[in-house]
A and B are shown apart, each in its own frame.
Chain A
Amino acid sequence: MVMNLVRPEALTEHNFHYCPGCTHGIIHRLVAETIDELGIIEDTIGVASVGCSVLAYNYFNVDMQQAAHGRAPAVATGIKRVLPDRVVFTYQGDGDLASIGCGEIVHAAARGENITVIFVNNACYGMTGGQMAPTTLRGQSTTTSPGGRDVMSQGYPIRVSEMLATLDGPAYIARTSVHDPKHVLKTKKAIHKAFTMQLQQRGFSMVEVLSTCPTNWRMQPVEALRWLKENMIAQYPLGEYKDMPGTRN
């Protein structure tokens, strides 16, 4: 495999603050490469959400807005409605998107809002110290499910991609992972496709990326990648859940 180690133009020179082995950095890079390849650096407005990636507004070398917790799809809607010829994306964690922002993401998808959502699912609330998220696996220990998530009292993990794919608004929904180079490349393809869909005015696109949180999972980075592969994919199968051809009307 050939690694491209040059910093994409769509990333600033800011050093990432992410923990060692955290895959947020890889996903940032994939988004930035896509922006470079599509030549949309001057047309893109990104929306950073509340979570470990909140400082994404410093990292992406495009115009950025920082949104309140969970509200990024609403903020992106506001931007896109005012500037329909620009490219608008959100970058959100699973606590942000699947818990507090459940309403905003569902309705942005239902409206077929022509934006792209990068949804980073690491099965916990990273920034606040590893609490249970709606995406936390059954039996997974977190600081707020210390005995392991008990579905009888704490409910079941939410499969966001499958749920949103039942709606008519989305044009493209895929779930990918970044646990090995092959899957990183697949994630890149999906992100590229999602942005392309937006450029083609096809409507809402989202890529859910399974990601690691070695710090809060209390694992070494390599162990975390293995845990993702062995546990998360079974709960969150990879694949394209929606791929609508043609322009919407």
Chain B
Amino acid sequence: MKVLMKGNEVIGEAAVRAGCRAFFGYPITPQTELPEYLAHRMPEVGGFFLQAESELAAINMVYGAAGAGARVMTSSSGPGISLKAEGISYLAGAQLPCVIVNIMRGGPGLGGIQPSQADYFQATRGGGHGDYRVIVLAPASVQEMADLTAEAFELADRYRNPVMLLGDGILGQMMEAVEFKPRPAQNTTNKHWATTGRRGRSKNIINSLYLDPELLEKHNQKLQQKYSQIAGTESRAETYRTEDAAIIVVAFGTAARIARTAVDNARARGIRAGLIRPITLWPFPEPVIRESLGECRAVLTVEMNAGQMLDDVRLAVNGTRPVHFYGRMGGMVPSAAEVLRAIEKTGGMDHGHESCQA
């Protein structure tokens, strides 16, 4: 059954349905509806919601709860995620599963409260210290917010790793029809490592400290092996009209919705445009991009930032095609018409679709 719900609230409901019973948060626009939803929803299902004194505290509460074996979530927006960066590094180092939601707004600093994608680097490059990776999922619709939230908990438990759900203010605030798909009963992995009190077993330790550099290197090697495995199996992207595309637009989240309209409009004008929409931002879906290049002559990355995913697209394309960029910053959202113009420009001369039709 479909219901009409706001994106932020959908994440909350999907988390509850995924078995999450622990949430620690701190108010910040544009994600506040999520903690507010869980403040009344969690008690209904025997879970709890706790408003922490800061994002620093919230993420460390997540650490404690995850270490105690719970399915746990926290949410914030850029300024709060910056404070959480320390904790995320510790969570990754101690291999603790959890879900972190970032509903992005414009930065840097206090920035603004309008939708943005300016935290792509922060999300995919860590944000915290040390060699670590966080799985980053980028929904582009309210339905996908539900699906990827459920998926996020599975991935977190499977790999004992933090997973970030990266949305933006538009996705968080918009209302769309959503269906919470019943998921096959997941075998919530036996968390034999959790610190729950050493009943009938020897003690467990949750830790990221290795004072001996040899041991720390071994620990890092173990983490890197896990990251390669994730990179090899979990990268995902949606492709749209790419089979014969001469110009491929790469965009995620809200920017991808706009780019899709622009691609259709370009096709209507005879430009063979297509779209690749990364769903996992880390691991970045390099294979999909490489496999889709085919007849493509140029790539255009569209983002609501100054060009961040652009780096990953360039690495994936690896110099085989020119990679262009169009973006708006600070909470400004590109229009489909602007993206269409960028597609036309990318074709060669201004408005020169001949070169793309060839």
Find the residue from A55, A63, A78 having the highest chain B CB count within 10 A: A78
- Whether, in the assembled complex, A79 has its beta carbon less than 8 Å from a beta carbon of chain B, the answer is yes
Q: CA of A47 to CA of B206 in the docked complex: distance in angstroms?
A: 9
Residues of B within 8 A of A83 (CB): 68, 196-197
B61 CB contact (under 8 Å) in A58, A61, A75: A75
Q: CA of A43 to CA of B52 in the docked complex: distance in angstroms?
A: 25
Near B by CB (< 8 A), chain A positions 110-167 give: none
Residues of A within 8 A of B115 (CB): none
Find the residue from B22, B56, B200, B208 having the highest chain A CB count within 10 A: B56
Residues of B within 8 A of A240 (CB): none
- Whether, in the assembled complex, A190 has its beta carbon less than 8 Å from a beta carbon of chain B, the answer is no
A8 to chain B, nearest CB (A): 14
Q: CA of A45 to CA of B87 in the docked complex: distance in angstroms?
A: 20
B68 CB contact (under 8 Å) in A55, A67, A78: A78
Interface range on chain B (Cβ under 8 Å from partner): 35 or more
A200 to chain B, nearest CB (A): 18
Interface range on chain A (Cβ under 8 Å from partner): 35 or more
B156 to chain A, nearest CB (A): 15
A75 CB contact (under 8 Å) in B60, B86, B196: B60
Near A by CB (< 8 A), chain B positions 186-232 give: 195-200, 203-209
Determine the residue in chain B with the shortest Cβ distance to A110. Answer: B53
Find the residue from A71, A75, A86 having the highest chain B CB count within 10 A: A75
A54-76 vs B, Cβ < 8 Å mask (1 yes, 0 no): 11011001111111100100111
Residues of A within 8 A of B65 (CB): 78-79, 81-82
B198 & A42 in contact (Cβ 8 Å cutoff):
yes
B195 CB contact (under 8 Å) in A64, A68, A74, A81: A64
B209 & A42 in contact (Cβ 8 Å cutoff):
no
B197 & A107 in contact (Cβ 8 Å cutoff):
no
B197 & A71 in contact (Cβ 8 Å cutoff):
no
Near A by CB (< 8 A), chain B positions 52-101 give: 52-54, 56-58, 60-70, 72, 86-87, 90, 94
B64 & A68 in contact (Cβ 8 Å cutoff):
no
Residues of A within 8 A of B200 (CB): 42
- Whether, in the assembled complex, B48 has its beta carbon less than 8 Å from a beta carbon of chain A, the answer is yes
With A57-B205, A63-B205, A65-B205 as contacts: A47 and B64 at CB distance below 8 Å: yes
Binding site for A on B (CB under 8 A): 22, 24, 48, 50, 52-54, 56-58, 60-70, 72, 86-87, 90, 94, 195-200, 203-209
**Given A78-B60, A82-B65, 6 extra CB contacts under 8 A:** A62-B198, A63-B197, A74-B58, A75-B67, A78-B64, A82-B22
